[in-house]
Structure 1
Amino acid sequence: MNKEELIKRTQAFAITIIKLVEKLPDTKTSRVLSNQLLRSATSVGANYRSACKGKSSADFINKIIIVEEEADESQYWLELIEQSGLMSPESIKVVKQEAKELTAIFTAIGKTAKENHKLNKIRN
């Protein structure tokens, strides 16, 4: 998956979350969880775009770590929404899987970037 495809994928993830949040009941708990989920899920794409414009490999790595954390945090909020009974497991199965996959993708990107950064330091 190239950079442009991943940018589109993270944006599609954010849009899916926006639509999901709109389906939650209007309760105190839902408002808190939905706000947290909206922040983390929309941050995935925004921070990935920022990482792609990193000024150095160290800057890219730091930003990718944030992307990974935001994707993982999105998984957490989705799990709480499901476990609290605000949405059925079936209704959020696909978006939970996407959050899991995005976390894995950004974890792998971060790991590779760190390894390449170390190799470049050794070579120079």
Structure 2
Amino acid sequence: MIGDIYKRTKLLSRTCLKIALVLPQEVALCNLIRGHLIEKATDMAIKSKGLMDTQNPEYFLQKLSNAKEAADGCQYWLDMIQEESYLDSDIINPILAESGAISNLFALAIKKIKPNN
């Protein structure tokens, strides 16, 4: 399951990097979005890869929380791109849906393994 999540986050990360590269250069807000989207998208993939490298439950939960936070950040910047209509909705909507699904997977995993839930 963790391997599947990593594959999905890696694909989403790569897609977000490509989106960042096609945002209009001449729009100041796009330049801000570009930097944050690149940061959050790469963080998300790197942190989800870290989930495969740990056996310690507390460390795993910490890594999972960090990956969810990065996924939520990625979702925020994708939402901004959609709201500002920088990309056609046919392009951005499926990416937003996948981003939300990944964030939900992280949330469900955290809820399942977190003590006192």
Which TM-score applies when normalising by structure 1? 0.84
Q: Secondary structure at the match of 2:114?
A: helix
Partner of 1:13: 12
Question: How do 1:35-74 and structure 2 match up within 5 A?
Answer: 35-54=35-54, 56-74=56-74
Identity %: 22
Partner of 1:122: none
- Per-residue CA deviation, residues 73-123 of structure 1 (Å, 9 max, x unaligned), is 1111111111122223222011100100000000111111214xx6xxxxx
Partner of 1:31: 31
The size of the alignment, in residue pairs, is: 116
Structure 2, unaligned runs of 5 or more: none
Q: Secondary structure at the match of 1:85?
A: coil
Provide runs of 4+ in structure 1 moved above 4 Å: none
Alignment partners' CA distance in 2, 1:45 and 1:25: 25
Partner of 1:80: 80
Q: Residue 96 of structure 2 aligns to which amino acid in structure 1? A: K
- Per-residue CA deviation, residues 36-92 of structure 1 (Å, 9 max, x unaligned), is 111111211100111322351111101101111111111111111111222232220
Q: Secondary structure at the match of 1:7?
A: helix
Q: Which has the larger radius of gyration?
A: 1
RMSD of aligned residue pairs (Cα, Å)? 1.7
Q: Residue 61 of structure 1 aligns to which amino acid in structure 2? A: L
Structure 1, unaligned runs of 5 or more: 119-124
Q: Secondary structure at the match of 1:87?
A: coil
Partner of 1:106: 106
